[in-house]
Amino acid sequence: MKILIVNAGSSSLKYQLIDMDDESTLAKGLVERIGIAGSRLEQKAKGEKYEISQPLKDHVEACKLMLSALTDKEHGVVSSMDEIGAVGHRVLHGGMKFTKSVIIDENVIEAIKENIPLGPLHNPANLMGIRACQEVMPNTPMVAVFDTAFHQTMPPKAFLYGLPMDYFNRLKVRRYGFHGTSHRYVSARTAEFLGKKPEELRLITCHLGNGSSICAVYHGHCVDTSMGITPLEGVIMGTRSGAMDPAVVQFVCDNDHISADEMLEICNKKSGLLGISGVSSDMRDVMKAADEGNERAKIAVDMLVYGVKKYIGAYAAAMGGVDAIVFTAGIGENNAQLREMIMDGMDFLGCRVDPEKNAVRGEERIISTDDSTVKILVIPTNEEIAIARDTLALVTGK
């Protein structure tokens, strides 16, 4: 079966068509600037790039364009949309309702809507993507895969904030965690790679990309994670501040006469690596500047390294030890120097990186020395495959 994976943003739609016979990617594309001037589609398939620029007023038009690119006689990969057996949608916030992926029906759509206050930027966009696909592919089954679902196994001591209980009971204020599909995929793949059962392992998975999160996976289940009610909590990220004393918000708002919304925008979009370094949100640029002697860039790198170290220490303590630490996503998969910096001085935990094995990019590998009692690994994430597998399993009932 061929499965289409859709990740809809407010003005963009990323997609990938996967042939589940061999899990190969047939086409990968991005429709951007939906509803604004300069709308365009870019698709990579059959080793070539295909671009179309045309006005797109909404997600329905974007979906139609995606289908026409996929079925294009010259550049497409399927002869008709009937060849697409199912669609898997990435949905940011499943709240407490969704502990796993589900077939989309009207009840699911209602529940995603109910979670809009928790994911005000993403859930409405994800819904637009679902609605648009349903309109142009009315007979194709669709599945929702939630970024939060994997973390629903956290116990209350890990997911509650120390606020009056009323805020949890009434408003569902709690830690949800994100990148769940990635942590789930990477932790399962790590067990497979090590030839172990998930229930034999205590893992710490470090998803370090534009957004970064760390997850403690005990015997196959998430017991803690660094992101919170929104993806803002945890370590510093490309443009996000990571965790800080919430009183900072009021302090800055009062001082600079800005609203809480404006301050949150600063915390989400202008902080983190970008805000500290003043150079870029892209780790490659920040590390280059740090190498060239830029002090602020050096501090930004150090802050990320230090933040990840602290989570590793905390989660090892929380799980009564750790069997393997796993690096994934853009930074985690590709940057040997950063991995080495994070693991430096962790001998006390039984962690030793082998510099030669660590010289790897985007490839599954154990990077610890043979005498390291904790295995350290690079496992490239593949959220699309995880979404496609869930979708296939749900639509075929297997």
- Tell me which residues touch ligand ADP (CB under 6 A): 209-211, 238, 282-284, 287, 329-331, 334-335
147 is catalytic: yes
Task: Considering the complex, state which of residue 76 and residue 209 has its C-beta at the smaller distance from ligand ADP.
Answer: 209
- In the complex, the smallest distance separating the C-beta of residue 282 from ligand ADP, rounded to whole angstroms, is 4
Task: Considering the complex, state which of residue 77 and residue 226 has its C-beta at the smaller distance from ligand ADP.
Answer: 226
Task: Considering the complex, state which of residue 382 and residue 391 has its C-beta at the smaller distance from ligand ADP.
Answer: 382
Task: Considering the complex, state which of residue 84 and residue 300 has its C-beta at the smaller distance from ligand ADP.
Answer: 300
- In the complex, the smallest distance separating the C-beta of residue 92 from ligand ADP, rounded to whole angstroms, is 13
Alpha-carbon distance of 16 to 26, in angstroms, equals 8
- CB contact at 8 A, 191 and 201: yes
Give the C-alpha distances (Å, rounded to integers) separating 3 from 86, 161, 366. Answer: 5, 39, 31
- CB contact at 8 A, 13 and 25: no
Nearest CA-CA partner of 71 in 62, 61, 81, 63: 81
Alpha-carbon distance of 26 to 19, in angstroms, equals 7
Catalytically annotated residue among 19, 58, 147, 344 = 147
- Helix, strand, coil shares of the chain as percentages rounded to 5? 40, 20, 35
Residue, CB closest to ligand ADP: 330
Contacts of 211 (CB under 8 A, 6+ apart): 178, 179, 227, 231, 237, 238, 240
Give the C-alpha distances (Å, rounded to integers) separating 247 from 131, 226, 227, 250. Answer: 39, 19, 18, 5
Task: Considering the complex, state which of residue 273 and residue 392 has its C-beta at the smaller distance from ligand ADP.
Answer: 273
- In the complex, the smallest distance separating the C-beta of residue 89 from ligand ADP, rounded to whole angstroms, is 17
Alpha-carbon distance of 325 to 307, in angstroms, equals 15
Alpha-carbon distance of 325 to 215, in angstroms, equals 10
Active site residues: 147
